[in-house]
């Protein structure tokens, strides 16, 4: 690629260089209406202003009102040709050599909003949320902890990407407080369930696909077209109450132990921006059925990290570092499998990858694994943690490091506040 540089100054460590241009939804002022934007350095470019100025002048977006909406659902429904057109238009408008926006003081002042003053909102209306379970390391560790050493990973796991249907209503944007859930749990050794605030509140370090056009009911997505239905990715924290979960989820799966809150990062990083970081996906053994066999099987090299910031502390401490490339099933296999029975996906649906644990003990993606269900503590700035305490803030982040730039996701954070009385 020719040297791409913006007239907007971008710090070399910024997550948001001109190569990224992730999409979000924001309000420039508390009283403004929500509108789409892309992040560039320390600014958000207001796409409603760019559209109103007639600057989306390509054939697909010229007459579209997709950027005059309070969410990105319409834009993501348009599909890859429109996404590529928007990216080309925006990279040109923001480039150092293009005068249209650079030299129009009035438009620049309206359209470039400092990130520090913007309120970031959920980028899409999430109609449905599904969570997969595609890290072999996470699956093995959970199996050993919850089910013992006999068969920590069941045979079906290697044959299909296992998932459960999550709860879309409690998907929240980064920065939203998470109220410690109350519920039933089985006390060890006891026969009567305990009821009260969860004693084993955990985070899960995940990423999630934001679905693009989706499919009609009854018409599965072919595995080799599945990529056309992936608009981009976000970082996700699938908060989990391990005590509630362990007691309630046999035999039907996760329910109240997970549905009290799921946090996503505000910026959707597109597959176009991630393409330079695509890598060969792991070889599956046994080979998958034909409907899950893809001509090109891609992973992405995305470094992931979880930090905890205890109440009253200035600094956060890193508790784990992992990478999206550790996943066994690809994003496209997850998506194609989801539709194989005819189930329809809709624009803005959220498909969690599952907890992204790596092979080393330091790369485990949740406290359940890191502390082996509370048997050991991890150290956070000199404090011991087995599970999350009130006031703890969990900060997830992810990025791809290129030679001259970083493609980042920003942060996905949430603070635990005490349970309702």
Ligand X SMILES: O=C(O)/C=C/C(=O)CC(=O)CC(=O)O
Contacts with Mg ion by CB under 5 A lie at: 238, 258, 262
Shortest distance, CB of residue 163 to Ca ion, whole angstroms? 9
Q: Is 227 labelled as part of a ligand binding site?
A: no
Residues 101 and 111 sit within 8 Å (Cβ to Cβ): yes
Catalytic entry in 15, 19, 137, 138 = 138
Is 369 an interacting residue with respect to ligand X (CB under 6 A)? no
Cβ-based nearer residue to ligand X, 254 or 261: 254
Please state whether 374 falls in left (phi above 0), alpha (psi between -120 and 50) or beta. left
Q: Dihedrals φ, ψ of 205, to 5°?
A: -80, 110
Decide which of ligand X, Mg ion, Ca ion, none touches 146; Cβ closer than 5 to 8 Å per partner kind.
ligand X
Give residues 109-138 in contact with Ca ion (rule: CB under 5 A): 131
Residue 131 interacts with ligand X (CB under 6 A)?
yes
Residue 355 in contact with ligand X, rule: CB under 6 A: yes
Q: Phi and psi (nearest 5°) for 415?
A: -110, 140
Question: How many Cβ atoms from other residues are within 10 Å of residue 65's Cβ?
Answer: 10
Output the CA angle 215-217-218, nearest 5 degrees: 105
Q: Is 138 tagged catalytic?
A: yes
Pick between residue 131 and residue 228 the one whose CB is nearest to ligand X. Answer: 131
Query: Which of 330, 296, 348 is CA-nearest to residue 129?
Result: 348
Is 238 among the residues that bind ligand X (CB under 6 A)? Answer: yes
In whole angstroms, give the CA distance from residue 300 to residue 276: 9
Cβ-closest position to ligand X? 354
Give 35's strand partners: 26
Q: Output the smallest distance, CB 201 to ligand X, in A.
A: 13
- For ligand X, give the closer residue by CB, 73 or 334: 334
285 assigned binding-site residue: no
Residue 190 buriedness (CB in 10 A; 0-12 / 13-18 / 19+): exposed
Instruction: Confirm or reject binding of residue 238 to Ca ion (CB under 5 A).
Output: yes
155 is in an annotated binding site: no
Cβ atoms within 10 A of the Cβ of 126, count? Answer: 24
User: Where in 180-219 is the site for Ca ion (CB under 5 A)?
Assistant: 204
Cα 395 to Cα 409: distance, rounded to the nearest angstrom: 12
Question: Which option in ligand X, Ca ion, Mg ion, none does residue 262 bind, with CB closer than 5 to 8 A by kind?
Answer: Mg ion
Rounded Cα gap, residues 410 and 266, in angstroms: 8
Q: 112 or 136: whose CB is closer to Ca ion? A: 136
Q: How far is the CB of 146 from ligand X (least distance, A)?
A: 4
CA Rg value for the chain: 22
Instruction: State yes or no: 328 annotated in a binding site.
Output: no
Q: Which is nearer to Mg ion, 134 or 262 (CB)?
A: 262
Confirm or reject binding of residue 354 to ligand X (CB under 6 A): yes
Please identify, using beta-carbon distances, which residue of 207 and 308 lies nearer to Ca ion: 207
The annotation status of 262 as a binding-site residue, yes or no, is yes
CA distances in angstroms from 410 to 108, 278, 362, listed in the order given: 24, 19, 22
Stretch that binds ligand X, among 138-146, 218-226, 227-235, 326-334 (CB under 6 A): 138-146
Distance in angstroms (rounded) separating the CA atoms of residues 385 and 11: 35
CB 352 within 8 A of CB 396: no
The least CB distance from residue 242 to ligand X, in Å, is 8
Asked if residue 138 binds ligand X (CB under 6 A), the reply is yes
Q: Is 232 exposed, middle or buried (0-12, 13-18, 19+ CB in 10 A)?
A: buried
Please give the residue ranges that form the binding site for ligand X (CB under 6 A). 131, 133, 138, 142, 146, 204, 206, 238, 240, 254, 354-355
Binding residues for Ca(2+) are 131, 204, 206, 238
Task: Indicate the annotated binding residues for Mg(2+).
Answer: 238, 258, 262
What are the residue numbers of the active site?
138
Task: Provide the binding-site residues for Ca ion, judged by CB under 5 A.
Answer: 131, 204, 238
């Amino acid at each position: 690629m020719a040297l791409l540089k913006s007239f907007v100054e971008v710090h070399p460590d910024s997550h948001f260089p001109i190569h990224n241009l992730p999409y979000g939804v924001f309000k420039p002022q508390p009283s403004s209406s929500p509108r789409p934007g892309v992040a560039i350095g320390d600014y958000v470019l207001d796409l409603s202003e760019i559209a109103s100025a007639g600057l989306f002048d390509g054939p697909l977006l010229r007459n579209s009102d997709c950027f005059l909406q309070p969410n990105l659902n319409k834009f993501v429904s348009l599909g890859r040709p429109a996404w590529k057109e928007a990216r080309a238009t925006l990279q040109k408008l923001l480039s150092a050599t293009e005068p249209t926006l650079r030299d129009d003081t009035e438009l620049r002042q309206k359209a470039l909003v400092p990130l520090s003053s913007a309120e970031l909102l959920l980028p899409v209306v999430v109609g449905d949320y599904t969570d997969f379970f595609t890290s072999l390391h996470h699956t093995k560790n959970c199996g050993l902890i919850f089910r013992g050493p006999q068969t920590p990973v069941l045979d079906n796991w290697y044959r299909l990407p296992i998932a459960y249907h999550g709860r879309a209503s409690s998907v929240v944007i980064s920065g939203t407080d998470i109220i410690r859930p109350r519920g039933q749990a089985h006390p060890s050794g006891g026969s009567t369930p305990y009821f009260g605030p969860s004693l084993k509140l955990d985070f899960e370090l995940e990423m999630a696909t934001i679905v693009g056009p989706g499919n009609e009911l009854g018409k599965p997505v072919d595995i080799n077209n599945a990529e056309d239905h992936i608009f981009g990715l976000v970082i996700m924290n699938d908060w989990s109450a391990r005590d509630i979960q362990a007691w309630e989820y046999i035999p039907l799966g996760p329910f109240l132990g997970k549905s009290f809150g799921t946090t996503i990062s505000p910026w959707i990083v597109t597959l176009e921006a991630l393409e330079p970081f695509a890598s060969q996906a792991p070889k599956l053994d046994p080979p998958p059925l034909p409907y899950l066999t893809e001509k090109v099987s891609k992973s992405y090299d995305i470094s992931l990290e979880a930090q905890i910031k205890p109440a009253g502390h200035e600094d956060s401490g890193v508790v784990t570092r992992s990478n999206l490339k550790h996943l066994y099933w690809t994003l496209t296999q997850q998506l194609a499998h989801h539709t194989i029975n005819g189930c329809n996906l809709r624009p803005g649906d959220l498909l969690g990858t599952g907890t992204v644990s790596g092979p080393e003990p330091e790369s485990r993606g949740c406290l359940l694994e890191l502390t082996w269900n509370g048997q050991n503590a991890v150290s956070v700035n000199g404090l011991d943690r087995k599970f999350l305490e009130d006031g703890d803030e969990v900060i997830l982040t992810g990025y791809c490091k290129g030679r001259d730039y970083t493609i980042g996701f920003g942060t996905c954070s949430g603070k635990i506040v005490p349970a309702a009385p």
